[in-house]
């Protein structure tokens, strides 16, 4: 057979970040794709339009290039952001555990995703900013219940403290690859 380093399959996987403004989508992408300092900034710089990063990963013996599209959550960009949903294989849907509106908006994002990308798509739900326990307004069990109802994985994450970021992306990538 082919030895180590010989040509192997390399797949391109399109993942899209979705969720309200300020929940931490850009911070999560930065934490995941730009290891090393400073991987986190506490100042808010809204995403304008769209941005993408590429992260090469290897699962078992399969080389995968994750193309991660970071959309803008601000309402004025909604049409533009959702136009990038088409053709995506995976979604990282994010709310902020300290912002109830961002959690209540999840159902509407789900609808946008299924409408644009079809119902075969893989989604993971993230309750971000879990480092801000004293400001929490969304209990963990509510996130778990919502994810369970939709049959999707759930993680509470912190882009700031690097909690569950790697696990979230690898869980999503594995689910996508299992379908290939």
39 forms part of the interface with ligand GTP (CB under 6 A): no
Partner interacting with residue 8 (select from ligand GTP, Mg ion, none; CB below 5-8 Å by kind) = none
Which partner, ligand GTP, Mg ion, none, binds residue 159 by CB below 5 to 8 Å per kind? ligand GTP
Q: Can residue 132 be called a binding residue for ligand GTP (CB under 6 A)?
A: yes
d(CA 167, CA 52): 20
Distance CA 12, CA 25 (A): 21
Cβ nearer to Mg ion, comparing 77 with 155? 77
- Give, for 53, the enclosing helix (H) or strand (E): strand 50-59
Residues 52-91 vs ligand GTP: string with x where CB under 6 A?
Answer: --------------------xxx-----------------
Instruction: Tell which phi-psi region holds residue 135, choosing left (phi > 0), alpha (psi between -120 and 50) or beta.
Output: alpha
Distances in Å between the alpha carbon of 34 and those of 63, 98, 153? Answer: 19, 25, 24
Query: Residue 139 carries which DSSP code?
Result: -
Cβ neighbours of residue 161 under 8 Å, at least 6 residues apart?
Answer: 131
Residue 160 site contact among ligand GTP, Mg ion, none (CB < 5 to 8 Å, cut-off depends on kind): ligand GTP
Binding site for Mg ion (CB under 5 A): 25-26, 47
Binding site for ligand GTP (CB under 6 A): 21-27, 41-47, 72-74, 128-129, 131-132, 158-160
């Amino acid at each position: 057979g082919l030895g180590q380093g010989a040509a192997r399959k390399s797949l391109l996987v399109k993942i899209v970040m979705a969720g309200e403004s300020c929940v931490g989508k850009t911070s999560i992408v930065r934490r995941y794709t730009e290891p090393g300092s400073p991987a986190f900034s506490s100042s808010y710089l809204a995403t304008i339009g769209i941005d993408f990063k590429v992260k090469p990963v290897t699962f078992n013996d399969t080389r995968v290039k994750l193309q991660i599209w970071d959309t803008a959550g601000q309402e004025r960009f909604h049409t533009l952001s959702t136009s990038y949903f088409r053709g995506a294989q995976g979604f990282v849907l994010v709310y902020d555990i300290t912002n109830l509106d961002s959690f209540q908006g999840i159902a509407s994002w789900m609808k946008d995703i299924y409408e644009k990308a079809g119902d075969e798509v893989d989604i993971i739900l993230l309750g971000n900013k879990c480092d801000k326990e004293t400001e929490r307004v969304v209990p963990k069990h509510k996130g778990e219940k919502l994810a369970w109802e939709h049959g999707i994985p759930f993680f509470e994450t912190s882009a700031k403290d690097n909690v569950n970021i790697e696990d979230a992306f690898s869980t999503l990538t594995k689910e996508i690859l299992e379908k290939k």
